[in-house]
Structure 1
Amino acid sequence: MSEAPKDLKYTRSHEWVRTEDDGTVTIGITDHAQELLGDLVFVEAPEAGSSLEAGTACATVESVKAASDIYAPIGGEVTETNAELEDSPEKVNESPFEDGWLFRMKPANAADLDALMDADAYAAHVEAES
């Protein structure tokens, strides 16, 4: 079973969300997602300053196997992208929850985070998909 840290929230489309001390959130793809995709060769994150609506495709990751859309887990404004992924997309495979984060955003409504799954619910979701 892939890793699913308890301090994160998760989506059905395999994104994770970590709330930071300043109220922003950091977003990436789960360990399970990167395992399914295989070795990543390209990451395209949304531009800083762009506004996202929950559930809309906002980024793309490409592996040797396939390309996959990444969806905004909540609505808000992108504040930062992980520039290191431009030259080192493999960081997502090596460290999906730390060095391999995709982007950060300021939530339009922090209460939207409550609708996301906790680690146990996400693990059950992954199990049901298998």
Structure 2
Amino acid sequence: MNEYHGCEIPEDLFYDLDYVWVRHEADGTLTIGVTDPAQALSGRLQNARIKKVGTHVDAGRHVATLESGKWVGGVPVPFAGMIVARNEALLENPHLINIDPYGDAWIARVKPDDSQHALDNVKTGPEAIAALEAWIKRYDVQCMRCPD
């Protein structure tokens, strides 16, 4: 696990180099979530709306909308696909993202329309880590996890 300014950046995930992470699952689906620096920048999340299972989303469209006291924003999907699962726990407690953004606070699982090219617009490894560290520095983010 890489860490920069207190922000965790897991090396095994894919990133849109802004604020979304993507994890490849064994069943071919891709799990979407929000990065640690993004949750820190947004503040304590108070509301989450996630599209329903069975909804098709186009690349760049929002799979969810998150809201804090100072920010409202969509969570874009970097590929087109069908939502096959959503994290129901976030609907009840969106603050989970501030506690565990890479674990229990995943947002949705999506079956990509084109699994061969679904990860073409995301980066992983040293390139992604360097870009995210630059993002953290640019926005002067210092990550810390909120208590339960």
Structure 1: unaligned runs, 5 residues or longer: none
Q: Is 2:100 the counterpart of 1:99?
A: no
Q: TM-score, normalised by structure 1?
A: 0.92
* Seq. identity, %: 36
Give the equivalent residue in structure 2 for 1:37.
Answer: 42
Deviation (angstroms), 1:3 = 1.1
Asked whether the 8 Å contact 1:4–1:119 carries over to 2, the reply is: no
More helix by share: 1
Given the alignment, which residue of 69, 73, 81 partners 2:74?
69
Q: What residue ranges of structure 2 are gaps of 5+ in the alignment?
A: 139-148
What is the one-letter code of the residue matched to 1:75? A
Kindly state the Cα deviation for residue 44 of structure 1 after the two structures are TM-superposed.
0.8
Aligned 8 A contact 1:43 1:62 in 2: yes
1:84 and 2:89 aligned: yes
Deviation of the 1:117 alpha carbon: 0.9
**Partner amino acid, structure 1, of 2:112:** P
Q: Which residue of 2 aligns with 1:21?
A: 26
Tell me how far apart the structure 2 counterparts of residues 107 and 123 of structure 1 sit (CA, whole Å).
Answer: 24
- Using the alignment, how far apart are the partners of 1:14 and 1:98 within structure 2? 16
Matched, 1:123 2:133: no
Deviations 1:41-60 (Å, cap 9, x if unpaired)?
A: 01111111011111112311
What's the counterpart of residue 145 of structure 2?
none
Instruction: Give the greater-gyration-radius structure (CA).
Output: 2
Tell me the C-alpha RMSD between the 2 structures: 1.4
Distance 1:13 1:45 in 2: 19
**CA offset at residue 36 of structure 1?**
0.5
- Counterpart of 2:104, as a letter, is D
Instruction: Provide the C-alpha distance between the structure 1 equivalents of 2:134 and 2:10, rounded to a whole number of angstroms.
Output: 19
Aligned length: 130
Moved more, 115-124 or 12-21: 115-124
